[in-house]
């Protein structure tokens, strides 16, 4: 029978679109034109073709370059897509994994003003933890999490932390008081990363989770007004850690822990600074080390999944990738939500966002038309 199984094994290059091994999902959210774009009478040049759920197209005249004027992703959402639709299709399946004890990450990536924070947080006003039409991914995740965990609080714990990463410095957005204390990263005796002094707050319901998010979020923005454009240049990492107690069939207690990182990344316009090495820009903190490293980590993860070669993943290059190391790659599920504007005035940034997002797509996901 060993011979049989050998005969049945297909050559690996025929394994196209093996969804089992595809752990990075890339979706795009295209918003409608905003007031500024309408005032500038900027044309809408980016659109989703009729009946398509996977393609983003750019009007040819607006984009007369050598590249084909369309991009393909796992899924695309247009201006009509609701917050609840995004949650249900993108985040809910990831929450399933977290409840099974896996670590997962959802990123919002895109130019400033395209809807990253709207997608992640949305409208945070809430009464008793109730959601509204504009509630974003984080409030919806908390709501769904407590719904699924049920009323028996002896069976689980939910803890939250919220960090800001600015210029490779980690700040704690959940510390008491108005300050955002700086934290250091250490490696403990068992080689695990520790974030020294980080607040991890135990919550028992959605309402307290939303309240913490509100407070952390407002600290991020208060700090930003004191520092030129800081909020668009900082990353926000909101972490939900779920521990579930279960008994196995012999009556022994088992502890299952899963983590979900919900990350609102710095404005993607920051990656533009990467071109020539510019010492001045570097010193002024104008190079977003974490954003660039994340790109390299993801590109290498994709390449490694594709080729099965022992490709090095440069997690240690930045604070962001160090913090997320245990939830990027391997058994974990990752979703990148790339947010874009439809307007001609943003086209250059939009194309660069779409290219960054394309690098995260498995090559085997692209259609191999008419190829046998
Ligand atoms: P970013 O975090 O990418 O800088 P924001 O989330 O702050 O962008 O969005 C900028 C503005 O556009 C906000 O006023 C937000 O409410 C609005 N906005 C963004 N995306 C949408 C959307 N899909 N639907 C409605 N309003 C949106």
pLDDT in tens, 168-217: 999 999 999 888 999 999 998 888 899 999 999 999 999 999 999 999 99
Share of the chain above pLDDT 70, in %: 81
Interval between CA 117 and ligand 1 midpoint (Å) = 7
Q: Probe ligand 1: pick from 27, 78, 118, 339, max atoms within 8 Å of CB? A: 118
Q: Which helix (H) or strand (E) holds 236?
A: strand 235-247
Say which residues have a Cβ less than 8 Å from residue 231's Cβ, sequence separation at least 6: 220, 221, 223, 224
d(CA 160, CA 209): 8
**Counting every residue, how long is the chain?**
372
Interval between CA 116 and ligand 1 midpoint (Å) = 7
Helix axes 137-149, 92-99, angle to 10 degrees: 50
- ipTM of predicted assembly, 2 dp: 0.99
Average pLDDT of the residues in 123-135 = 95
Give the nearest ligand 1 atom to 114 CA: 3
What are the backbone dihedrals phi and psi of residue 133, each rounded to the nearest 5 degrees, phi first?
-55, -35
d(CA 248, CA 254): 7
- The pLDDT value recorded for residue 196 is 93
Interval between CA 193 and ligand 1 midpoint (Å) = 34
| Ligand 1 environment, Cβ below 6 A | 31, 34, 110, 112-118, 232, 339
d(CA 128, CA 141): 15
Q: Per residue in 273-312, pLDDT tens?
A: 544 445 555 555 556 889 889 999 999 998 888 888 899 9
pTM of the model: 0.89
Task: Identify the DSSP state of 135.
Answer: B
- The pLDDT value recorded for residue 69 is 77
Interval between CA 363 and ligand 1 midpoint (Å) = 30
Interval between CA 60 and ligand 1 midpoint (Å) = 26
Give the nearest ligand 1 atom to 121 CA: 6
d(CA 270, CA 351): 14
The C-alpha R_g of the chain, in whole angstroms, comes to: 21
């Amino acid at each position: 029978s060993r011979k049989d199984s050998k005969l049945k094994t297909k050559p690996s290059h025929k394994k196209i679109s093996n969804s089992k091994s595809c752990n990075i999902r890339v979706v795009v959210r295209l918003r409608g034109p905003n007031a500024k774009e309408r005032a500038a009478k900027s044309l809408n040049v980016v659109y989703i073709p009729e009946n398509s759920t996977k393609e983003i197209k750019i009007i040819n005249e607006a984009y007369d370059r050598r590249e084909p004027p369309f991009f393909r992703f796992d899924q695309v959402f247009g201006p009509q897509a609701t917050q609840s639709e995004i949650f249900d299709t993108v985040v809910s399946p990831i929450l399933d994994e977290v409840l099974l004890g896996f670590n997962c990450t959802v990123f919002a990536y895109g130019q400033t003003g395209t809807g990253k924070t709207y997608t992640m947080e949305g409208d945070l006003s809430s009464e008793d933890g109730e959601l509204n039409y504009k509630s974003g991914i984080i409030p919806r995740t908390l709501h769904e999490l407590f719904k699924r965990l049920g009323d028996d609080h002896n069976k689980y714990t939910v803890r939250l932390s919220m960090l800001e990463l600015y210029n490779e410095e980690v700040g704690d957005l959940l510390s008491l008081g108005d300050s955002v204390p700086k934290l250091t990263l250490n490696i403990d005796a068992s080689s695990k990363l520790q974030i020294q002094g980080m607040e991890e707050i135990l919550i028992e319901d959605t309402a307290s989770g939303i309240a913490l998010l509100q407070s952390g979020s407002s600290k991020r923005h208060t700090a930003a007004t004191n520092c030129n454009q800081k909020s668009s240049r900082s990353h926000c990492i909101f972490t939900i850690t779920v521990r579930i107690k279960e008994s196995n069939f012999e009556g022994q207690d088992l502890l299952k822990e899963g983590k979900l990182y919900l990350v609102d990344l710095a404005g993607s316009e920051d990656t533009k600074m990467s071109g020539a090495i510019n010492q001045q820009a570097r010193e002024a903190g104008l190079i977003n080390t974490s954003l660039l490293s994340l790109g390299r980590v993801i590109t290498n993860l994709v390449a490694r999944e594709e080729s099965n070669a022992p490709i090095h993943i440069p997690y240690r290059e930045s604070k962001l990738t160090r913090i997320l190391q245990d939830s990027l790659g391997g058994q974990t599920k990752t979703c990148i939500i790339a947010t874009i504007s439809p307007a001609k005035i943003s086209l250059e940034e939009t194309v660069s966002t779409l290219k960054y997002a394309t690098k995260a797509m498995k090559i085997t996901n692209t259609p191999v038309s008419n190829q046998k």
